Amino acid sequence: MQQEASARIPQEVLTFFSKPGGHSLIIRGEAGTGKTTLSLQLIEELAQYNNSHYLSTRVSDILLLVQFPWLGEKIYGKEYTSFVKNQVPWITGEGDPDTAHVIPRDDGAHDVGLKKLMDIYHDERRSGADVFPAMEDVNRVYDAVKGALPQRSLVVIDSLDALAERHGLENAPFITAIQKDLVEGYGANIIFVFENNEKENDYLADASVVLSAQEHQGRTIRHLKVQKLRGCEIKQLRYLFTLKGGRVQSFGNIKSLDVTLDREWSSLSDNRGKISSGLVDLDRLLGGGFNPGAAVLYEIGKNVPMEIISLMEQSLVANFASQRRGALWLPMKRVSADTVKKQLSAAIHPNLFDKCVRIPELAVQSEAGRSNHVLRVEGADVAADLKWDLLTYSLKSADMPYLTLFGFDTLESIYGENVMSGLTEHVATLKRNGGVFAALSSESTQSNKKLIDLSTVHLKIERIDGVLTLYGEEPFTECNAVTLEWRERGGCLSLTPVV
């Protein structure tokens, strides 16, 4: 099975910083979009390439360590323990100057930009005491970069606009000076974090990304847009990402999939009286799974890969069959009953499949008695074809509760768009016996409105920025990015909350 990978940081950004020489990146976006988290995580991801330094104008160092405890030695090195104990913020240069971390300067051969910046500063400085006389904080950044030579440094300035405002200067002179000296002169990687979302300074840096948080159907969706990456190919312009667990995790487009359940199914048992969906994360989303007697609607949006929908179907059926429960299954994608059996042959033993699973197939297309897993139907009257006593007889070797899983595009192609009226008795009897009725519909399904009215669980599966997502309308849930990841139990579909 080919796995669809999710990454903490988009690969293009990591490739950009790993190239020879120095590089500069602007991260901008509105408040709360994850700019600081992304910049700090870049320090972690690029630790093998860089000596890392973080200059914060907004948050104290000790508070950063409380919010991001994984930073530790990645920024503060061996002084981390004593730093936490004594709360000496040596990176920002606050506190006692005698205990602050100061690296001796070299001859300043590449400090031309800084000298010009200092001239502007002295020309424009206002009367009264300055917070950092002679821009001591900026000098400390230079000292840190030069003191690490010949190794390359990564410096995060969070935020550049606040730093410029602190010294009464415009943003552009700061970026120009640091770009000329530290990036081009000393080969450092610099990340400028901006508190605003204005693009007027993007041309001064080598690259820029924009973070945003938007609403989608009443739910938060986070986007990372790659504006430019000088010298690097941008393979994907926009990424969906989450801040789950205080980390950035981005999700790539699903392009091509070769997906099968290629190993024996390890079932998910009932949880506090609820019947499992066959997916660990979907059970979590639903508070344990489906209630007995549930009517479940999977509403499928445009351009959702049919391979993913088939995996959801197979997972649900496999979980019922592995517990020797009966399942009546008409797949969303119209294929033969033998093909369906073959698709699940690795997950469910063929003999168990024959005992527990029934695939409706038109009588004119199948021979009587040829396959135990085939339920021969006439295709004219769905109520007559799916009488409860016929189903229980066919599944006499399987246990209750039963699952009925119908792909409604296929069902309507057999019985017509008014098929729901003929399913009333079947659904009611199934629910009375504690079973689960599950339907898959698309935008072309004529029965959608009736299915929505019937459903006690209503799930939507859509593509957002190329990323497959799932969320609940009933019950209401956050958006979840869908990726492929084998679990110890319950198949290979993973749901990650976008928060």
Three-state DSSP class for 411? helix
pLDDT in tens, 49-63: 778 888 888 655 555
CA 173, 176, 182, 188: dihedral to nearest 10 degrees? 120
Residue bearing the bigger pLDDT, 92 or 372: 372
Q: Please give the structure tokens belonging to residue 295.
A: 């009517």
pTM (predicted TM-score): 0.83
**In percent, how much of the chain has pLDDT > 70?**
83
Residue 82: phi and psi, rounded to 5, are -70, -30
Q: Rounded to whole angstroms, how far apart are CA atoms 398 and 401?
A: 9
Q: Is residue 487 within 8 Å of residue 493, measured between CB atoms?
A: no
Of 20-29, 95-104, 169-178, least confident by mean pLDDT is: 95-104
The CB-side HSE value for 23 (13 A sphere, CA atoms) comes to: 21
Peptide bond into 52 cis (omega under 30): no
Peptide bond into 266 cis (omega under 30): no
Residue 174, strand partner residues: none
Peptide bond into 89 cis (omega under 30): no
Quick one: pLDDT at residue 77?
A: 56
Q: Pick from 483, 494, 479: which is nearest to 221 by CA?
A: 479
Q: Pick from 395, 388, 391, 386: which is nearest to 419 by CA?
A: 386
Structural domains of the chain ordered from first start: 6-251 (3.40.50.300), 280-497 (3.40.50.300)
- On the question of pLDDT at 65 being above 70, the answer is no
pLDDT in tens, 220-235: 999 999 999 999 999 8
pLDDT in tens, 401-428: 999 999 999 999 999 999 999 999 999 9
* pLDDT band at 71; cut points 50, 70, 90: low
Residue bearing the bigger pLDDT, 362 or 68: 362
Quick one: pLDDT at residue 107?
A: 54
Q: Please give the structure tokens belonging to residue 383.
A: 């109520």
* pLDDT band at 396; cut points 50, 70, 90: very high
